Chain A
Amino acid sequence: MGAELLVIGIDAATWAIIDRHLDKLKTFKMLKTHKEYKSKVLTLDQKPYSAPCWVSIFSGKTEEEHRHHEFVVDNEIQTRDDIKVDFIWDILKRTGKKVKALNVPFIVPPYNFNINFEAPGLGIPSNREEWDAEIAEVTNRAIETLRNENLDLFVVCYVSLDKLQHFHWGEKIVEEYYEKIDETIDKLISFGKKLIIISDHGFCAFGEAKIQTLPRITKDGTELKGDHHENAVLITKNIKTEINNLRDVFKAIKEVFK
């Protein structure tokens, strides 16, 4: 049971935090040091914005090609049907592969392929209760699936780090949730013969990134403490394709099932 290839997406995970707290993040430390795994800083060549980045990761298209720029367009929340490209799961399913994707956050609520799941906080978890619920419920659903099924590809994503870093960058709580994600990865990685762990972008304090993607003060008056950074996280196991940008993840997955 498990998956030939397991892809774990962690929205906004950044090496800046992981490297600084490697002594507490045992799984990340193992992934960085064990020879079975390869890890690198993946510097984005596109705007570090979650909606288009996740589509690029799983469609292999640039933002200009897939044209999914925002979660909301003209006051309408975008859905899967608004994005006119095939994702890797659509392509693999057509070739008879067994594929599932859980909580992929290119739309809100996040997208599920071939699996039912209702994301806590409708996929925009915004407080401790919802962050905990997301990590626990997504992990439970993923483990339940991977324990009972033999899949070719299983994709599972988490968005809590992104949301909490926006509000709490520089605070202790950020480390606390990296530790929770670290434990979560430890629970999942044994289910995949091959593995890709990817973040859609990194994170940093305001002004540190090349491009400021979000306003410091939002329209409802909330002050954001951090912003997206162009350096994303990439960790792989048994993946031959060289991954140098987000779209290469799609190519790497396709290559596995060639």
Chain B
Amino acid sequence: MNHLEKLENLSIYIIREAYKQFKNIALLWSIGKDSTTTLWLCRKAFYGKIPFPVIHIDTGFKFPEMYEFRDEWTKKLGINLIVGKNEEALNNGITCCMDDQMTCCKHLKTESLKKVIEKNKFKALIVGIRRDEHGVRAKERYFSPRDEEFRWNYKNQPAELWDQFKSKGEEDNHIRIHPLLHWTELDIWEYIRQENIPINKLYFAKNGRRYRSLGCTRATVPVNSDADTLDKIIEELKTTKTAERSGRAQDKEKAYIMQKLRSLGYM
């Protein structure tokens, strides 16, 4: 079994285990490469037909190419898509990157997702995050409990030793399942190439720039790159020293704020 097959095997095992434990489950699809890979793994896990809904949280500020991609592949793959959008917040003037720059995410992402979960009574969500993506995500588990407010108490998580997963949660808990946790960014792209997974064109370089991570238009900037094919992206990732989410405004701001607070002794 090669490296990618091992990764795929564990991910499919987790997805099947999750579906067995939580019948009322959904997949969160951000239209990015990781969640699209997760979607692909879910199809493989259930022989081509995903037996649960797929949720897209629409902040109203995504790239037009992301909406086109979502609609095209929803139709082609026969996905049961639920779009969550906080129309109330948008009507009340909440826009991307307003106020303290984190508030918009809470209203347009978290609140939208809460509403979708409440309405559909989902007990668990499959989310395509990876440990190597961001410092704080390194603390995640494959089966990660959240409380009713979506809060994550990372100091009080079940151990996951020797691939033993605590897939049964407490009654009030909501569980996040992370089948891609052990993948790296490079693994994802090599798997996309191997499986010929459809991927958004924004990832491929145009005029010397490409998006390495996709978010809202005002909070995401492209990185300098000439990688306009899958092979070139894979080669680029083998040598790059730029962080994957370097184009995400929120992450940059957070890192800057943290560093400043540290220098002032507040942390």
Contact = CB atoms under 8 A, between A and B. Distances in A.
Interface of A: 70-72, 74-77, 79-81, 107-112, 116, 121-122, 124, 126, 163, 166, 214-215, 218-220, 222, 224
B106 A163 contact: no
A35 to B, nearest CB: 39
Nearest to B266: A71
Contacts of A121: 260
Given A166-B264, A218-B263, A224-B265, A80 B99 contact: yes
B267 A72 contact: yes
A124 to B, nearest CB: 4
B254 interface: yes
A183 B155 CA distance: 49
A126 to B, nearest CB: 6
Contact of A77 (B254, B262, B263): B254
A122 B101 CA distance: 10
Contacts of B102: 77, 79
B140 to A, nearest CB: 13
B261 A108 contact: yes
Nearest to B253: A122
Nearest to A49: B266
A124 B262 contact: no
Given A80-B99, A122-B253, A71 B265 contact: no
B103 interface: yes
B256 A219 contact: no
B257 A122 contact: yes
Interface centre among B103, B136, B253, B266 (most CB of A within 10 A): B266
Contacts of B259: 220
A215 B257 CA distance: 18
A71 B261 contact: yes
Interface centre among B101, B106, B136, B256 (most CB of A within 10 A): B101
A75 B264 contact: no
Given A72-B258, A108-B257, A81 B264 contact: no
B254 to A, nearest CB: 6
Contact of B100 (A107, A124, A215): A107
Contacts of A220: 259, 262-263
Nearest to A126: B260
